[in-house]
Amino acid sequence: MKIFFYALRPFDELPYCEPNRQKYGIDYAWTAETPNPGNLQLAEGCDAVSTNPCEVRPEYLEAFARMGVKYLPCRSIGYDHLPLDAAKRLGLRVSHSHYPPEGVANYAVMLMLMATRKMNQIMLRAAVQDYSLPGKMGRDLSGCTVGVVGTGKIGSTVIRHLSAFGCKLLAYDLYPNDAVRAWADYVPLAELYARSDVITLHLNATPENHHLIDAAAIAQMKDGVLLVNTARGTLIDPQALVEGLESGKIGGAGLDVVEDEAGLCYYDRRGEALANRELNLLRSFPNVIVSPHTAFYTDVNVASMVESAFEATAAFAAGRPCPCEVPL
């Protein structure tokens, strides 16, 4: 058995490959490049191809299938970068990675604290030696009502951790988690919008929740609401977000993800004009914190993401159930 890793980062992912080769008995090869027509042949002789979020075209999967590739173990929780229809047609099995929820959950809490205390403005003004107080007064998170949309592993961890702050906690999920009821009240989405001072998103990207936060949703929210997103950029309509910030309806935002971030995150784009108008606008607001999709980025999580590829490939090959398999 052999895995070919595309977009493998030598400075953090690579050191975890050799221990997993020994643990699972699965060989590997790799490139730091994302898959493209000029390097698809590198996967020749491999049983699995593993990617991070990057462009993967249907014709790439067709080429891999012709080479004998059977499995596509993603090194990310999200798998929306893969053309799943093509994978299903070609009989390729897909899996996503897993990692402990605390890293992303705590990052979301950090963004909430920074947004409520206007930390971006404080730091920007301190950088030019403006140490005055006007315009910097924030809110205590403990006195806020926080609405958590999505109560899977990460969302429920956010709720559990926020419970120690003394916040009033509201939750929404299509499939409520009984354990969450110890700390939060499940309410309809419209009620969560209307009552929350801070709203944090913890959902996968699906066609059903594309632009869940749009102009109509924002209109239902409190004036001055703070939005936090460490999940998927497509959950928020960027134009509606910009308009809400410009009007003051939205008091601020903490964003680790934005729409159309492919080709931006994890690349050094210094000195370039970025072709993402909404991102450029969002970066101009002093009440908006934008980080480049790094909520996941801890040593524990990176180790788990790499191991997930070996773990899933071993399970697929042995005919064992793989809890991270994506149903096609």
Q: Which of 75, 96, 293, 311 is catalytic?
A: 293
Q: Which of 96, 232, 259, 311 is catalytic?
A: 232
The DSSP call for residue 270 is: T
Known catalytic residue at 283: no
Which residues face 201 on adjacent strands?
Answer: 149, 229
Q: Which of 13, 75, 96, 261 is catalytic?
A: 261
Contact 170, 148 (CB under 8 A): yes
Pairing of strands 27-30, 48-50: unpaired
Strands, E, within the chain: which ranges?
2-5, 27-30, 48-50, 71-73, 93-95, 145-149, 168-172, 185-186, 198-201, 225-229, 250-255, 288-290
Contact 95, 72 (CB under 8 A): yes
Dmax over Cα atoms in the chain, in whole Å? 65
Known catalytic residue at 66: no
Q: How far apart are CA 225 and CA 231, in angstroms?
A: 18
Known catalytic residue at 98: no
Contact 78, 127 (CB under 8 A): no
Give catalytic residues, as residue numbers. 232, 261, 293
